[in-house]
Structure 1
Amino acid sequence: MSKKYHIGQTVVPYEIRYSENRETFQLSLDESMELEVRAPISAKIDEVEAVLDDRKDWILDKLYGLAEQSDTPRQKEFLSGEKLQYRGRQYRLNVTEADVPEPQLSFDGNEFTLKLHRFDAPGDSVSIRRKRQAVVDWYIQRAGEELPERVDRFAPKLGTQYDSIEVTEIDDRWGEYENGIIRLNWRLILSPVRIQDYVIVHELAHEVHDRHSDSFWNTVGTLIPDYEDRREWLRLNGNTLTV
């Protein structure tokens, strides 16, 4: 049974495994850093949640490594000289005034240019929100173009098939596979390509393996031999992939 446990703003997916012969609760994390709760067959959800409450510090420490993660970047105002991240690199932002109804972002391979109407020039909260939306829209468009191409690159190598790809906002994970549909978090476009490839191969492997078994990781390892390093990078730096 899959559930979600909330610790403040942090959402922790977990799975309950009931056992007739078990009298106590046991928490564990597999190699994918997913939480599993082994519980007595008679355990109620409230009892499981109480155990999670008691172990929440351990959960956060193990699941997200919050003490080790890079600091979340400070909130941008989208001014000239700031940096925007794309495919793991930082590029300078150049803001110019233009006759445009909405802020528009472009990229020439060396720097970003954000065109603004003069009314969007002030740094008030409304202008910042409009500028941020233009940046997010650009990222989503690029992710929608680039990530499916990389899926198509790896799927034949694994001999896997899928019905469709969705690049969207996913609150608590970087990707998921469900009934032939691959969903990828658009924020992956901010990460290095090698990290994008790890997440993509991870989700493609779920087409043939439901759980994170040894066979699953062997499948991932056929194309991503250093998947453990890439997974660790994402664990430590995932909170920096933000706009």
Structure 2
Amino acid sequence: MSLSIDESLELTVTAPMSATTADVESVLDSRQEWILEKLYGLKDQEGPPYPKEYLTGEKLQYRGRHYPLEVVAADVPQPELSFDDQTFWLRVHRFDADGDKVSVRRKRQAVVDWFVKRAEEELPERASHFEPRLGLEEVDIEVGEVDGRWGEYDNRTVRLNWRLILAPVRIQDYVAAHELAHAVHNDHTDAFWNTVGSLIPNYESRREWLRLNGETLTV
């Protein structure tokens, strides 16, 4: 018996003719974690088809909105990104103004550094709003690279993927609530989802958004 999920989120179960409904239900129960991983995780998502070169006219995504990027030459040893609530400004040395691979890497690193710093400042604060509602204390909230996932919970520590700072705030809240709920329930049981639902009543639509748009959350 095998399971597959296509891009439209349709689950297909292939079973022998001799399989009963109980057999299928048993397999679905045993593969619940895999199914949720496919719906919630990043492993099957691909990057955007057109990687950025960090040139004037491109856009950067922040908290669910896209803002224009302006690249200006300046007396700086390394590229530096700033934001004035309307436009992203990337100050670069004149030798970084062209689109060669080294310059693109240097500019991208400056962009990543800015977003990681902003994520470290904002995401823990959003997650902390849910702790009192779950009766939690002293849960560490860390932000950084989380391989193949948007977040994880382990030993009273929530780790959030820094790229969530690109997503709408409502999506950030969903992931934070999801991971904090694991402090109460280890597995994705009905009780777990009820807990998530008590924090985020419409979590299904947010989970769906993340599944369909997660690949766009990249700099």
Normalised-by-shorter TM-score class? 0.7 to 0.9
- Match of 2:131, SS state, is helix
Separation (CA, whole Å) in 2 of partners of 1:73 and 1:123: 18
Q: How many residues matched?
A: 194
User: What amino acid is aligned across from residue 218 of structure 2 in structure 1?
Assistant: T
Separation (CA, whole Å) in 2 of partners of 1:98 and 1:64: 37
- RMSD over aligned CA atoms reads 2.6
- Match of 1:135, SS state, is helix
Contact 1:84–1:112 (CA under 8 A) maintained in structure 2: yes
Contact 1:96–1:114 (CA under 8 A) maintained in structure 2: yes
Contact 2:67–2:88 (CA under 8 A) maintained in structure 1: yes
Which runs of 5 or more structure 2 residues have no equivalent in the other structure?
Answer: 1-22
Contact 1:33–1:63 (CA under 8 A) maintained in structure 2: no
Shift of residue 26, structure 1, vs aligned partner: 3.9
Q: Which residue of 2 aligns with 1:126?
A: 102
Contact 2:41–2:149 (CA under 8 A) maintained in structure 1: no
Which runs of 5 or more structure 1 residues have no equivalent in the other structure?
Answer: 1-21, 36-59
- Give runs of aligned pairs for residues 14-93 of structure 1, distance below 5 A: 26=27, 29-30=31-32, 33-34=35-36, 72-93=48-69
Separation (CA, whole Å) in 2 of partners of 1:63 and 1:152: 23
- Match of 2:178, SS state, is helix
Q: What TM-score, normalized by structure 2, do the two folds share?
A: 0.81
Contact 1:143–1:186 (CA under 8 A) maintained in structure 2: yes
Separation (CA, whole Å) in 1 of partners of 2:166 and 2:150: 12
Q: What TM-score, normalized by structure 1, do the two folds share?
A: 0.73
Shift of residue 222, structure 1, vs aligned partner: 0.8
Separation (CA, whole Å) in 2 of partners of 1:71 and 1:225: 30
- Match of 1:75, SS state, is coil
State the percentage of identical aligned residues.
63
Contact 1:70–1:237 (CA under 8 A) maintained in structure 2: no
Shift of residue 62, structure 1, vs aligned partner: 11
User: What amino acid is aligned across from residue 140 of structure 2 in structure 1?
Assistant: S
Residues 228 and 61 from structure 1, CA distance in 2 versus in 1: closer, same or farther, beyond 3 angstroms?
closer
The structure with the largest strand share of the pair is 1
Q: Which residue of 1 aligns with 2:187?
A: 211
Q: Select the residue among 64, 70, 74 that pairs with 1:98.
A: 74
Q: Select the residue among 104, 117, 125 that pairs with 1:149.
A: 125
Contact 1:29–1:63 (CA under 8 A) maintained in structure 2: no
User: What amino acid is aligned across from residue 144 of structure 1 in structure 2?
Assistant: E
Q: Which has the higher contact order (CA 8 A, sep 6+)?
A: 2
List structure 1 segments (4+ residues) > 6 angstroms apart after TM superposition: 60-66
Residues 214 and 188 from structure 1, CA distance in 2 versus in 1: closer, same or farther, beyond 3 angstroms?
same
